[in-house]
Structure 1
Amino acid sequence: MTHPMPFSQALRERTRSVHEQSEGSSFVQELMAGDGSRDDYVAMLAQHYFIYRALENGALTMAADPVASLFLSPELDRLPAIEADLAFLLGPDWAGRIAPLPSTARYAARIDEVGESWPGGFVAHHYTRYLGDLSGGQIIRTILQRQYGFGSEGVGFYAFPGIAKPKAFKDAYRARLDAVDWPEDERDRVVAEVGRAFRFNTDLFVDLARAKSAAA
């Protein structure tokens, strides 16, 4: 079956509005502008721990799937870096000091669900998180270092030492998306799941802002 445009392009265009809504969250905008605080960053990173734990647990299951396994790469794994960042930022007892917000719990539960049973859905979440990290990670890391006084520690989440050329890596990832022989209805389901992932992110930023206000 021929398609009017590469799937990766269609995926990006069909989820553009919900992606922009997530990126435009006031919590994120304030953090990137230096109007947030170090504690805001730590709170966000703590929620990412639960999201990436679900993703990388799902990857263990999906490693046996002929399609999902094509997208797995140890150079992308974020959990070890997040754990090191949280240990630096919160201390050795960090694991007992964090808990998922309601939106994070729903997000992680959905990743757990697709990671057990639906390769296309898992790829949708994998794509949303990791390509986003690669796309903006270095810029965000630099901003955080400048705004909040971090050195090399505390922002390892945004460093990909095993990926020397992020653009080439992303291009190869998108080429694999384009090459997957999903029928049209499955492509539609994957697009919808990417949109769902972006909405989970938006909900998380709303929850973070709400928790910040409640603590003030």
Structure 2
Amino acid sequence: MSMTADLDAPPFSKRLRASTWTVHQKANHSRYMGALFGGELPLAGYTRLAVQYYFIYRAIERASDAMTADAVGREFVFDELRRLPALESDLAHLLGPGWRTEIRPLPATEAYTARIAEASGWAGGYVAHHYTRYLGDIAGGQAIRRLLEKKFGLTADGARFYHFDAIGSAPAFRDRYRAKLDVAPWTDAERDRVIGECTVAFEHNIAIFDELATELELGAAAEG
């Protein structure tokens, strides 16, 4: 297997973004996200998503711990990105001190976290799931942060998940992350695998949004 030698080829980070654009947009336009940004959900409706994020980020950050010993994977382990402490604070605020005994993952979330664990046996699989979630939170997720502040008055507790103060400049951090993607020592075939796994990650997110929409009975309103 040989590394990509075509100097005219776009950087891998740009190819990755372009290749996942369609499924990314599908996630953004899911019934659940439409209801969230349309102001249709009560705070409890957002809290159901935050609960699922707890299980998702616990799985990714467990994989991050394992990747510290991997020559490629450790380049994508950023302690300043870790979301579990923020999610724990948010859930304590949103659900009360007994939140740990009250939460449960949806079946779609269980499938997603199982896939994260399986894919993270290889650094590229880990990076695919890490990239899909964290860079989305740093960028598009900030719209949810603004929504939580405007609609529910959550400027700190309850919305800490979307606060990335520890990374400094968000654009600079994203550029640094993408530069790491561009120089990761993957073959063309392995880069294709990373793209494929990112698509899988987006599809898992969509499945969670769809299950939340069904649970919250958003289907009829969205279709009618």
TM-score, normalising length from structure 2? 0.92
1:40 matched residue in structure 2 = 45
Range with greater deviation from structure 2 (12-21 or 24-33): 24-33
Q: Which residue, 183, 187, 200 being the options, matches 1:183?
A: 187
Instruction: State whether residues 141 and 155 of structure 1, in contact with CA within 8 Å, keep that contact through their aligned partners in structure 2.
Output: yes
Q: Does 1:142 align with 2:127?
A: no
Matched, 1:98 2:106: no
Q: Structure 1, unaligned stretches of length 5 or more?
A: none
Measured after TM superposition, the shift of residue 31 of structure 1 is 0.7
Candidates 27, 32, 35, aligned match of 1:27 = 32
- Which residue of 33, 55, 60 maps to 2:65? 60
How many residue pairs get matched?
213
| Alignment-derived partner of residue 73 in structure 1 | 78
The Cα of 1:37 is off from its aligned counterpart by: 1.2
Deviation at 1:148, TM superposition (A): 2.0
State which drifts further: 138-147 or 82-91: 138-147
The residue that corresponds to 2:221 in the other structure is none
Q: Which residue of 1 aligns with 2:125?
A: 121
Q: Contact 1:124/1:194 (CA < 8 Å) preserved in 2?
A: yes
Listed one character per residue, the Cα deviations across residues 8-44 of structure 1 (whole Å, up to 9, x for unaligned) are: 0000111110110011111112112211110111000
The 3-state SS of whatever aligns with 1:139 is helix
Match of 2:175 in 1: 171
SS, match of residue 213 in structure 1 = coil
RMSD: 1.2
Q: Do structure 1's residue 211 and structure 2's residue 218 form an aligned pair?
A: no
Indicate the percent of aligned positions where both proteins have the same amino acid: 46
CA–CA distance in 2 between the matches of 1:138 and 1:25? 18
Q: What TM-score do the two structures reach when normalised by structure 1?
A: 0.96
Alignment-derived partner of residue 2 in structure 1:
5
Which ranges in structure 2 are unaligned for 5 or more consecutive residues?
A: 219-224
Q: What are the superposed Cα offsets for residues 75-97 of structure 1, whole Å, 9 maximum, x if unpaired? A: 10000000000001101110111
CA distance in 2, matches of 1:211, 1:137: 22
The alpha carbon displacement at 1:137 in A equals 3.1
